[in-house]
Amino acid sequence: MEEKLVLASSSPRRRELLSQIGLSFEVAKAYGEEVQRGNTPMEVVQNLAKDKAKEVCLRYREEGKLLCPTVFLGADTVVSFDDVILGKPADEQEAYDMILSLSGREHQVHTGVCLAKAEDDKVMYHCFAETTTVSVYPISHEEIMEYIKSKEPMDKAGAYGIQGTFAKFIKEIKGDYTNVVGLPLGRVYQELKNC
């Protein structure tokens, strides 16, 4: 890949994942309000990812930073349970309710990715999504309260981070582990090669 790569996300987890596979990239946070559009979690995450990539791409163009072919990588992750999207909890009660709903059950984690390739005056968008199924052991009231006290669930979709202390409650994963962390690395790398 010869293009410049810009990660349109301030997520430390996504930065770590891209660094893990040796990619060079810049980070530019997308500031727009997240508006969920789509009929399925897969459509919603792809639209959110595209919004982020598009916003940062336009900002780079307006600021005159678009000096060479650039690929803007937008990504968004949601957790769904019974086709209901569980976003980031607004407060501790919502975090509790989310974790309780996942306890002893299976749910899906969807990550949408949009690669916006900007060259000259045109931008080409390529979006895709990956889904991973996660099974969670039963979690007691006390365990949920202890986890919430750690503040770990408050900025994460579905109120948990698989790479943190919540890992002790994970029974099984069907699919890409890095997708649950926030970016399906293998798929992203393959798609970037074809960009």
From 51, 76, 91, 155, the catalytic residue: 76
Count CA atoms within 13 Å of residue 105 on its CB side. Answer: 12
Residue type at 116 in one-letter notation:
A
Which run of H or of E encompasses 84?
Answer: strand 84-86
Q: Which of 63, 56, 67, 60 is nearest to 9 (CA)?
A: 56
Alpha-carbon distance 155 to 122, whole Å?
35
CA 91 to chain centre: 20
76 is catalytic: yes
Phi, psi of 73 (to 5 degrees): -105, 110
Task: Give the three-state DSSP class for 89.
Answer: coil
Alpha-carbon distance 71 to 125, whole Å?
10
Annotated catalytic residues are 76
